[in-house]
Amino acid sequence: MDYNLAHALLGRFGILIPLLGLFFEGAGIFTKKELVSHIAGIIVIVGSIIAILAGITGIAQIFGEVEHLPIKFHYLTGYVITGLFIFIVILRVILFKVKKESLTVIYLLLLVFVVLATLINNEITAHVLYKIRG
């Protein structure tokens, strides 16, 4: 499969599934149901793994293709976002075993930040690509 196509496909799911997981995390907090929290955790982990794979396919296609500064921005922020998704997976796995409020708050704040950063990064990149390609 072409890296560009794989990156586009994984990137879309890597944006939407963590966002869905964030909504489920909110539902778990609101309802205080352990099952909802576990489902949310699984969704976040799966979405994060997909986002990490999107980052890896982005890294694989970067060599020789970065011409425009906004696209460089996409790659640089993609590296950071990929690293943060790795950290989110680790935190969420820990939270399956340890119920610590301070760690949960850090995890949720990081998840919100990374999901928003991913959405903003994608929006900027889509806008720039539309302008470049006409």
Token pair 């990149």 is found at 125
Residue among 34, 42, 36 nearest 17 (CA): 42
Local structure of residue 1 (DSSP, 8 states) = -
Biggest distance spanned by C-alpha atoms of the chain: 51
Length of the chain: 134
Query: How confident is the model over 49-70, as pLDDT tens digits?
Result: 999 999 888 877 666 555 555 6
Query: Which two structure tokens, joined as six digits, stand for 84?
Result: 């943060």
Confidence (pTM): 0.85
Which domains, and CATH codes, for the chain? 3-133 (1.20.120)
Local structure of residue 59 (DSSP, 8 states) = H
Query: Which two structure tokens, joined as six digits, stand for 64?
Result: 């020789």
pLDDT score recorded for residue 63: 62
Contacts of residue 10, defined as CB under 8 A and 6 or more positions apart, other chains included, come to: 50, 51, 53, 54, 57
pLDDT score recorded for residue 124: 85
Per-residue pLDDT band at 102 (split at 50, 70, 90)? very high
Query: How confident is the model over 70-92, as pLDDT tens digits?
Result: 677 788 888 899 999 999 999 99
Query: Which two structure tokens, joined as six digits, stand for 93?
Result: 């796995």
Pairwise CA distance, residues 12 & 57, whole Å: 13
